[in-house]
Structure 1
Amino acid sequence: MSTLTDLLSISVARAPDAVAVAEDERRITYTQLWAAAGRQANALHTAGLAGEAVLLALSPGIAWVTALLGAWRAGAAAVPVDVTHPPERLARLARGCHAAGAITRTGRAPAWASTVTAIAGTMPGPVGQEPHKAPPGDDAVACLWHTSGSTGTPKPVPVPHRAVASRAAAMPHLATIISGDRIAQLTSPSFDAVLWEVLCALTTGAHLQIASAADRTPGPALAAFLARHRITAFTCTPTQLAATPAVELPHLRRIVLGGEALHPGPVAWWLERHEVANAYGPTEVCVQAFFADRIRPDDDPVPIGRPLPGVLACVLDEHRRPVAAGLPGELYLGGDGLATGYLGMPAATEQAFLDLRHPGDSSHSARHRLYRTGDRVRALPDGQLTFLGRIDDQINLGGVRLEPGEVEACAVRMPGIRAAALLAEPASNGRRPRLVLHIEGVQGEDTEHLPTALRLHLARQLPPTAVPALIICHTSLPRTASGKIDRRNLAGAPLPPAPASSNGAVLPEAAAGWWQQWTGSPPDQGRDFFAAGGDSLTALAFLQLLNEHYGTAITLDDFYARPTTQFLADHLAPKSPS
C-alpha cells in the first residue's frame, strides 16, 4: 500500500500548477503547498518536535492545511483542535494528549498550552529544502482526535499513518472525486470528517475551497458559498443538509452524508437532484468504514452500505457470537483503519478494543483486533447494513458523538447541583433536535438563577455542541428501584412552556427573521431563545449575523446570561444600517 506522503506527492507531480487550496481570494498551487509543507516540516525538526504530538492551533485556512501536511511529513502526530472552543477544554485536550508543541499563527504558544514549544504556521514562498528525515512508518501516529468521554474527560484517539493512507486510497474512489472537482471545506478541524475533505481533494489533484466561519453555517450563506465557488462535492451531516435552503446548484454533483442516522424525508429535495451517498464510521476506525451510494428518497430502511476496502466488519450478539443474516446485533470493526486505542486510558481501551476471532476468517484460529462500536445494525437482503440505534446512552446530535456523562460530570462540579441527567430531544415542528439537561439542586439552595449560571459554567468548559439548549431544575430527579436516575421517565415528561412576557420588546426586521430561522418560532415578546427552539450552535450563528449586520459586539456569554428578545432589542439599532 502506498504511504500517505506517496499519495500526496503523486498529485504534486501530476498537477504542479493546479490550484490545491483556496481561501477567500487567496490561492495556492500544489507545488507551492508541497514546498510550504516541507518548510513546516523542517521547522518542526529544528524545534525538536518530529515524532511528538503537535497541536494545530489555527483557524481553518491555507495555513491549517499546510500545518497538517507539514506535521505528517515531519513524522509528528497532528492534533487538530477548534481554537474557538473554551480555553479550559483546550487545556485539558493538550494535557491529555501530552502535546509537546503547537503550530500557531504568531509562533507564540496559546495561553491554554503555555508550556509547549510553538512555531509559526507557514504560507506560500520559495521552494525550500526537502525535510531531512525519512517519512514516518505505517504505525506512527498521523492524527490524534478526541471523542467524548463518559467520565467527563475527552478520550484521545491516536490514528496511525496506515489508517489515513488506507482511507486516502479508498474514499475519493468511492465518491468518484476527480482532478476537476472543487471540494468544499466545511468541517470543524476538531472532527475527523475534515480528513474526507482534505484527502479527497489533495490525493486526486482537485481544488479544496475553504469556507469562512459565516459560510460554513447551514443556511442561506452556505448555499450562496456553494454556488459562488461552483462546488462540485462536499460532505456534511443530514441535519446540516436539511437546514440548507433548497436552491439549484448546477455544478454540484456529489454529496456525502455521514455522522448521524439519515432519514430521507428532510433531505428528499437533494436526494432527487444529486448523487447522495450515506457513509458511516466512528473516529476509532478513521472517518469512514461503510459507504452506501445513491440513496433514494424512498429508501426504507436507509443503508449504511458495505465495508470499505481493508475494513473488517462483523455483527455479533451479546455473547459475541455471529448473528444470523437479517437479525440485529452489535457492529464490531477492524482492519487497516483501526486506531491504536485511547491514549493514556488503558481501561477504556481494554473495554472498547478487543482481540476476537473474526467469523469471516477461514482459519478459525487467528484473532483480530476489533473495535466495539456500540451501534446496533442488521443486514438487508442485498447484504448492505442498516443502522438501528445505540445499545447504550450515547447521544449523536448533528453528527457529534456525545457521552452524557461528560456533560453531567461537568454540571455536578458546579456548587448547588446534586445530580444531572442529559437527554436528547428529537426534532419536531421544524425545530432541530436539541440537548436537554435535567438537574437536581441542593436542598435549600436558590434555584431560580441556577440554569443561567450553569449554562455559563458549561459554556466555559465544553464545546458549543455539548452545551444544552434547555436546563430544567427539579426538586428531585426520578429514580429507579436501584437508585439510578430514571432516564426513561424523564424522556416522557412534558417540557415546561417557553416563557413569554409583555415587555413590549420588538426586534428589527432582519433580527426577527433570523430569530425565526434559527429557533423555528416567531420572536414573541420576551421569548427565550433556547426555550423557543435554539441551541448553542444556532446561537453562535445567530449572534454572528447580528454583530455583522448591526455593528454590535454581543458575546455568547452575554447571550447565555439573557437570551431574550428584550436583551436584543436593548442592544440592536432601531433600524438596519444603510
Structure 2
Amino acid sequence: MVIGIWGILKAGGAYVPLDPDYPQARLAFLIDDASLSVVLSQNEVAERVELGGASIIMLNKLFDESSSKLSHYSKCNVSRTDSGVNKSSLAYLIYTSGSTGNPKGVMIEHQNTVAMLHWAKQAYSDSELEKVLASTSLNFDLSIYELFLPLCFGYQSVIVKNAMALMDLELDVSMINTVPSAMKALLEVDAISKHVRVINLAGEPLAAQQVNNILDTLPGVDVCNLYGPSEDTTYSTYARFSTQLTTVPDIGKLISNSQGYILGRDKELLPIGAVGELYLGGAGVARGYLNRSDLTAECFIKNPYFSENGINNSSRLYRTGDLVRYREDGRIEFIGRIDDQVKIRGFRIELGEIEHRFNSLDSIVTSKVVALSHADGNQYLVVYLQPYLTRETHWDEERQQSWLAEVKTAIRAVLPSYMVPSQFVIMAEWPLTPNGKIDKKALPEPNGQLVNQEYVALKTETEHALALIWSSLLELEITHISATANFFELGGHSLYLIKLSASIKLTFEIELTLREIYDAAELTILSQVIDSKKAQSYLKAKKANESIITSGTL
C-alpha cells in the first residue's frame, strides 16, 4: 500500500483511495468520476471488486522474479523534472459525503500537503514523532498525516488496520491520532501504551472531562485538539493541553501558513465573542471539487479582505459551514454546524446524501435522517421512512419487516456501512411545523425494532446473559433482540466491540479477542463461542489442578 502510494506520487500522478469494503455502486461512481486509468490492487481484493475498464496493476506481483512487466523500466529514481511534478500538481483526491446524493472529490495539491506537514514538524517534538500510529483508512485525510509526516522526516509509521488494534497488540508508539469516542473506549480497557507521548484527537467535539481523564490516566502525555476540513488539508487549528481544564476545550489557534476569518451573514468581520461562520485561507486551501465547478464556486470564494501587499495574502477562502467564535484570549471555540452535516466516530456525513438515497427508492415517499445520542454520548443515525402505500398493500407486522429488510439491502448496495442508519422507523404521516415542514423535534423516539429477521426466542443461559449485555450497550429493549440478531445490524460498531469484550470478560470470566467477536457477530453464534471458550478454560484449570495434586506441591 505505502509503496504503491509513493510510486504514484514519484511518477507524477495523483492517487485516489478506493476502499474494497465500499458498496460496488459507490466504487463504480468514484472510478468513473475520477476517470481512473490505472488501479493498483492485490489479488485477494481485485477478485471481489469490479474495477471497471481501468488497467489493473497487482502490487503483490510486482516483485515476482518471473514478472517481465517491469524489466524495461529503469531501476534509477525518476527525477522531478522527468515526472513534471511541481507544487501546484495534484497529489490526491479525498471523497467526502455530498448533500446531492453523491460524494464529492476534494482536490489536494502537493503544496497544500507540504505546508501542513511542515507545520506539524514544528509543532511536535522528535520524541513525539518518533513512532506514529497509522490506523486511519486511506479514504480519510488523517491518513495523510499518519503516513507522510513520519516518512517525510525520518520517523516511523506503525501501520495497523484500525485504532482498535491497540486492544490486541502491544505497540511501541509515541503518537496516536484518533477520534474522541475511540480514545474513550481504548482508555476504558487500558489499551494505551506507556510509550505514548502525545494523543491527537479530532473529528468530534472534545469534552473537558475526557481531556482531564487522559491527563490523569496517562501522566506525562499531552492532549491535542485538532480541527480542520478536508478542503483545508487535514488540519486548520491546533490546541495543546497538559493541565486540567475547567471549561469546554477550544480548538486553539490557526496553524502556520493558514488564515481564518469569522464572518457574519454579509461577510462582515465579527468581534470577539460573536458567533459566525469560519472561513479558512492560506496554503492549505484545496484546489476545489473535481467535476463540480458550481460547488467549487459556492464554497471556495474570493477573499473580500485580500490585499496584494498586505498580510492578508490569501486570495481564496473556503467556507467551512462551521459556527465558531473568538474567546478573549484569541483562541477559537467551536459551536456547531449551520447545515445538516454531522460527524459520527470521525466520519463526515451529509444527512442529505443519505436522505437522497432513500428517496430514490420507488417504495418510499420521503425520508428524514437524524443523528441521536446514546447515554454515553456516542451518536448514531436513525432514518424515518414514509412508505408508498396502495390499497392493495397488506401492511401487517410481517410485511413491514419484509419491506424494511428490502430497503436496507438496497441502501447497503449504495452507501458505506458508516452511513447506513442503525434504526429504521416507519411513519404513516409526518408531524409538521406551522409552515408545513417536517418537525424534527416531534419525531417519535425509535423503539429499537430494527431491520431484522423473524424473531427467534433466546434459549440458553448464555444467550440471555449476552442479550442483556447487548441491551445495555445498544440501549435496546431485550424483547427486541432475537437469537439470530446481528450485533452490527443492531447498531453496534468497532468502538462498541471494546466495551462488548470487556463486558464478556466480566460476565463470563473469559477473554475473547476483537477478531473472535467480530467474526461471530450473530448472538447465537457468539454464545456458542463463549460456551466453547468457557469449556476450554474449565478443562485447562482442571488439568492444572490435577497436576498439582499429582506432584504434591503448591
TM-score, normalization: structure 1? 0.77
- Partner deviation per Cα, 1:278-324 (whole Å, 9 max, x = no partner): 00000000000111112654241211111111112100001110001
2:459 pairs, out of 504, 522, 526, with 504
CA contact (8 A) 2:41 2:58 kept: yes
Question: 2:71 matched to which residue of 1?
Answer: none
Give the greater-gyration-radius structure (CA): 2
- Partner deviation per Cα, 1:14-57 (whole Å, 9 max, x = no partner): xxxxxxxxxxxxxxxxxxxxxxxxxxxxxxxxxxxxxxxxxxxx
CA contact (8 A) 2:182 2:345 kept: yes
State the Cα distance separating 1:427 from its structure 2 match.
3.1
Aligned partners of 1:448, 1:532: CA distance in 2, in Å?
14
CA contact (8 A) 1:518 1:538 kept: no
Structure 2 unaligned runs (5+)? 66-73, 502-511, 537-554
Question: 2:144 matched to which residue of 1?
Answer: 195
- Partner deviation per Cα, 1:381-440 (whole Å, 9 max, x = no partner): 111101000011111111111111111111122232111111100231x36211111111
Question: 1:113 matched to which residue of 2?
Answer: 51
Partner-residue secondary structure (3-state), 1:291: strand
- Partner deviation per Cα, 1:135-193 (whole Å, 9 max, x = no partner): 51111110100010101110011100100111111123213245971111111111000
Match status 1:269 vs 2:213? yes
Q: Structure 1 residues 69, 243: closer, same or farther in 2, change over 3 A?
A: same
Matches within 5 A, 1:471-486: 471-486=424-439
CA contact (8 A) 2:128 2:174 kept: no
Q: Structure 1 residues 236, 299: closer, same or farther in 2, change over 3 A?
A: farther
Aligned partners of 2:359, 2:274: CA distance in 1, in Å?
40
Aligned partners of 1:367, 1:223: CA distance in 2, in Å?
44
Partner-residue secondary structure (3-state), 1:279: strand
Letter in 2 for 1:170: W
Q: Structure 1 residues 432, 242: closer, same or farther in 2, change over 3 A?
A: same
Partner-residue secondary structure (3-state), 1:72: helix
CA contact (8 A) 1:183 1:232 kept: yes
CA contact (8 A) 2:282 2:314 kept: no
Q: Structure 1 residues 299, 533: closer, same or farther in 2, change over 3 A?
A: farther
Q: Structure 1 residues 177, 94: closer, same or farther in 2, change over 3 A?
A: farther
Letter in 1 for 2:105: P
State the Cα distance separating 1:87 from its structure 2 match.
1.6
Question: 2:27 matched to which residue of 1?
Answer: 90
2:198 pairs, out of 254, 271, 274, with 254
Question: 1:56 matched to which residue of 2?
Answer: none
2:440 pairs, out of 484, 487, 496, with 487
1:323 pairs, out of 250, 270, 280, with 270
Match status 1:185 vs 2:134? yes
1:353 pairs, out of 277, 287, 300, with 300
Question: 1:464 matched to which residue of 2?
Answer: 417
CA contact (8 A) 2:181 2:495 kept: no
Aligned partners of 2:304, 2:86: CA distance in 1, in Å?
27
Q: Structure 1 residues 482, 498: closer, same or farther in 2, change over 3 A?
A: same
Match status 1:207 vs 2:144? no
State the Cα distance separating 1:75 from its structure 2 match.
1.1
Question: 1:435 matched to which residue of 2?
Answer: 381
- Partner deviation per Cα, 1:492-511 (whole Å, 9 max, x = no partner): x3332568985435546996
After the TM superposition, which of the residue ranges 64-73 and 295-304 deviates more from structure 2?
Answer: 295-304
Letter in 1 for 2:474: T
Letter in 2 for 1:100: S
Q: Structure 1 residues 173, 451: closer, same or farther in 2, change over 3 A?
A: farther
Aligned partners of 2:124, 2:464: CA distance in 1, in Å?
42
Match status 1:534 vs 2:476? no
Question: 1:42 matched to which residue of 2?
Answer: none
CA contact (8 A) 1:185 1:208 kept: yes
- Partner deviation per Cα, 1:505-538 (whole Å, 9 max, x = no partner): 5546996698479636797783566799734556
CA contact (8 A) 1:470 1:530 kept: no
Letter in 1 for 2:323: R
Q: How many residues align?
A: 494
Supply the RMSD in Å over aligned alpha carbons. Answer: 3.5
Letter in 1 for 2:85: P
Q: Structure 1 residues 150, 525: closer, same or farther in 2, change over 3 A?
A: closer
Letter in 2 for 1:534: G
State the Cα distance separating 1:486 from its structure 2 match.
2.5
CA contact (8 A) 1:89 1:461 kept: yes
2:183 pairs, out of 230, 241, 245, with 241
Aligned partners of 1:301, 1:547: CA distance in 2, in Å?
33
CA contact (8 A) 2:273 2:326 kept: yes
CA contact (8 A) 1:356 1:370 kept: yes
Structure 1 unaligned runs (5+)? 1-63
Letter in 1 for 2:197: R
Q: Structure 1 residues 547, 348: closer, same or farther in 2, change over 3 A?
A: same
Matches within 5 A, 1:414-425: 414-425=361-372
Letter in 2 for 1:171: A
Matches within 5 A, 1:243-392: 243-246=185-188, 247=190, 249-266=193-210, 268-272=212-216, 273=218, 274-294=221-241, 296-358=243-305, 363=310, 368-392=315-339
Partner-residue secondary structure (3-state), 1:83: coil
Q: Structure 1 residues 194, 366: closer, same or farther in 2, change over 3 A?
A: closer
Aligned partners of 1:365, 1:163: CA distance in 2, in Å?
18
State the Cα distance separating 1:68 from its structure 2 match.
1.3
Letter in 2 for 1:67: G
CA contact (8 A) 2:9 2:15 kept: yes
After the TM superposition, which of the residue ranges 363-372 and 312-321 deviates more from structure 2?
Answer: 363-372
